[in-house]
Amino acid sequence: MTATAVERRRLPRRTYTVREVAELLDISERHLRNCISRGEFPVRPLAGTGRRTVLPRAEIDSYLRGEHPSQQQHQKTA
C-alpha cells in the first residue's frame, strides 16, 4: 500500500534540503554545498536520493542543538 499525496503531507518529514539547512544556519546555499563536497560539514547527505541533495533531519536538529557527535569534546583520561 502506498501513501496518497494527502497522507504524505501528514507524515513528518525526515529530511531537510540543502537550501533549508543553509537558511537555518544563516549561510549561503552555495557555501553549504561547497562544505559538503569538501567533507567539511559534519552531516553527510543521504545516498540514493536522486538528483536532490538531502540531509537527515534528526542529525541536523542534533547539530543545531549542539548535541551532534562532531560537536562533543573528547574528554582526556588522566
Domains with residue ranges and CATH for the chain: 12-66 (1.10.10)
Count other C-beta atoms under 10 Å from residue 56's C-beta: 15
> Of the candidates 19, 12, 4, 9, which has an alpha carbon nearest to the alpha carbon of residue 52?
19
30-72 confidence digits (pLDDT tens): 999 999 999 999 999 998 777 889 999 999 999 999 888 888 8
* pLDDT for the residue 69: 83
User: pTM higher than 0.85, yes or no?
Assistant: no
- Given a contact cutoff of 8 angstroms between Cβ atoms, the answer to whether 63 and 42 are in contact is yes
- Given a contact cutoff of 8 angstroms between Cβ atoms, the answer to whether 21 and 55 are in contact is yes
